[in-house]
Amino acid sequence: MEYTLMILLLPLVSFVLLGLSGNKLSHKTSGMIGTGSLLMVALLSFYAAGEYFTTQKVDAIFQTLVPLNVPWLNMGANLHIDMGILLDPLSVMMLVVISTVSLMVHIYSLGYMKGEKGFQRYYAFLSLFTFSMLGLVLSTNIFQMYIFWELVGVSSYLLIGFYYTKPSAVAAAKKAFIVTRFADMFFLIGILVLSYYTQTFDFGTLTSGNGAVFQQAISTQFLGASALVWAMALIFIGGAGKSAMFPLHIWLPDAMEGPTPVSALIHAATMVVAGVYLVARLFPVYVLFTPQVLEGIAYVGAFTSMFAAVIAIVQTDIKRVLAFSTISQIGFMMVALGVSKFDGHEGLGYMASLFHLFTHAMFKALLFLGAGSVIHAVHSNEMENMGGLRKKMPITHLTFLTACLAIAGIPPFSGFFSKDEILSATYQYNTGLGIWMTLVAGLTAFYMFRLYYSIFWGKEKQHAHPLHESPKSMTFPLIFLAIPTLLGGFIPFGQLVTADRAPYTIHMDWLVAVISVVVALEAIFIASKLYQHPKKPATVPSGLKGFHKAASHRFYVDEVYLFVTKKILFNGISRAFAWFDRHVVDGFINGLATATDWFSIRIRGFQSGEIAWYAWVFLFGTLLITVLILFI
């Protein structure tokens, strides 16, 4: 399956082409180049997935394929960084997700970004992002993954800051880059610790389940935990940064400053699940050797999902609601991974997590694109400027409703199946956690329908332009994505992607299913009472006023960050370092410069231009060497 290399190279070619000659091309051509290459990528990915899942099964277990692996840098005797392509159920599934959503976003942007300044640049960056994301999931070793991981961060930065004349966009881009980069620092340290003790970067070796590889890492203790635990925890922090887990989630809501299709691609479907992908990729290590870290992951995920869901309820900007909803849903995936075991039916959580990753990518991309379609029409992100849009924008309305039902977990929409598996897995693990996650699911249904009713129901507002449905290039992706949103749940996911690679049949846990559906319906009912035909603005019960205020301020996490960085770091610690830098480090360099200067003036006479002098110095040099040799 060497042709998978093309999947990786096509977006790169498109990026180079558009990046180098972008401004000379017309909007139309550059859009076509970007979309055309992505269409090929998507077709190749589907073909590869089809071929992989039908042919690469030996003894009912999916095999790992490495069609390409080139040594790139040798570091010491055993350690080397390779560049290659890894195909296994996980990466093949990700290929499908990324290429589908990316293709839809490419098509959608033809309409959404029409006439924007920097259209070519936009498509160049989209290609760069797609290349990096595909490279990330196809990496054969953790270092290659890290390289693409950073590339993904850069392209996300570029796309968030696409409207670079807008100060808020620039600030958001910076924030996203710095926060994720901060997390990546831990990731890198984790990689270095891991590779130092295991002498390998290779995923194949790391995830083989062979304990001998980790012998040294387990036996080395540091601050009460083994080196392996430290390494895996640090690696998870990197994943938590990209996947916006509490308390590293602060960048994601601000990242909504980027163009809406970008939010759909990067901040809903692909990049933000990189952390989930990372944990899933290293899952055998987590589950077999560091179960305590995995438990931590479960609780971080559980807390984050509740935390974000509560905030989502009070947001008024529709993209922010979706952003917090994304954080919350990724929390679900993390919980599922955290509660999973390795073998057979105990590995339900792993399967459920990736199933949810898949369905979530589809319906969340749909939600974002739908929101983009609404924003495109009303020219505002705020709910108060919307209402009654269901007649003016029927396609957007119906597809949006499909996605809302999916995320709320109503059967037979795709979200129901994947979320139900996650809930079953959490109940098996711990009933308390199961109840907690069911509550979050209820909140999800509530805030999504609050959003839905506020946009599409209620009174129509006055608008400067007459409202109309979006162009075909924008409605086509909506309809296309509605298909997997509607039917994705019937994919036999257990047959394809499991922790131990052996397929197994999913059994419905009817009790869990009924409870979660009832809770979701109840939440939707309350939302419809409050927001479907609002007579007066919904009031907040007085007892909850303080809580409401705190939630609208996102529980002041940003303020805590600002306090820590501005007041403590910059003022206290940085000042001391600045003094040291200015006086000691710069002092040394300046001293060096002064000495160099002084010296170079003194020896200028050497270069006199006279041949006799040159010959003399030559001879003198020979003599000097003789003396040197004599005395050593």
State which of residues 299, 580, 589, 591 lies at the interface with another protein (CB under 8 A): 589
Tell me which residues in 58-77 interact with another protein (CB under 8 A). Answer: 70-74
Helix (H, G, I), strand (E, B) or coil at 249: coil
Structure tokens at 203: 């995923």
Q: Is residue 632 within the footprint of another protein (CB under 8 A)? A: yes
Q: Is residue 606 within the footprint of another protein (CB under 8 A)? A: yes
Shortest Cβ 603–another protein spacing (Å): 6
Binding range to another protein, per CB under 8 A, among 101-109, 327-335, 519-527, 592-600: 592-600
φ and ψ at residue 82, rounded to 5 degrees: -110, 165
Alpha-carbon span 523 to 534, nearest angstrom: 17
Opening angle at CA 245, ends 180 and 168, nearest 5: 50
Question: Would you say 459 or 602 has its CB closer to another protein?
Answer: 602
Question: Would you say 75 or 560 has its CB closer to another protein?
Answer: 75
* Count of residues of this chain found to bind another protein when the rule CB under 8 A is applied: 33
Smallest CA-to-CA distance from 336 within 266, 273, 270 is with 273
Tell me which residues in 611-630 interact with another protein (CB under 8 A). Answer: 611, 613-615, 617-618, 620-622, 624-626, 628-629
Burial code (b: 16+ CB inside 10 Å, e: under 16) for 224-257 equals: eebbbbbbbbbbbbbbbbbbbbbebbbbbbbbbb
Q: By rule CB under 8 A, what string of x and - marks binding of each residue 235-264 to another protein?
A: ------------------------------
Shortest Cβ 601–another protein spacing (Å): 8
Q: By rule CB under 8 A, what string of x and - marks binding of each residue 73-112 to another protein?
A: xx--------------------------------------
φ and ψ at residue 2, rounded to 5 degrees: -65, -20
Q: Is residue 603 within the footprint of another protein (CB under 8 A)? A: yes
Question: Would you say 510 or 606 has its CB closer to another protein?
Answer: 606
Question: Would you say 2 or 610 has its CB closer to another protein?
Answer: 610
Shortest Cβ 33–another protein spacing (Å): 22
Residue 492 near residue 566 (C-beta atoms within 8 A)? no
User: Among the residues of 379-470, which ranges form H helices?
Assistant: 394-408, 414-429, 431-456
Residues contacting 406, CB < 8 A, separation 6+: 359, 363, 413, 414, 415, 416, 485, 486
Smallest CA-to-CA distance from 337 within 349, 329, 345 is with 349
Shortest Cβ 195–another protein spacing (Å): 17
Question: Would you say 212 or 603 has its CB closer to another protein?
Answer: 603
State which of residues 307, 592, 594, 605 lies at the interface with another protein (CB under 8 A): 592
Give the bridge partners for 222, in sequence order.
225
> How many angstroms separate the Cα of 263 from the Cα of each of 109, 320, 396, 460, 485?
12, 11, 17, 27, 18
Shortest Cβ 614–another protein spacing (Å): 4
Point out which residues bind another protein (CB under 8 A): 70-74, 589, 592-593, 596-597, 599-601, 603-604, 606-607, 609, 611, 613-615, 617-618, 620-622, 624-626, 628-629, 632
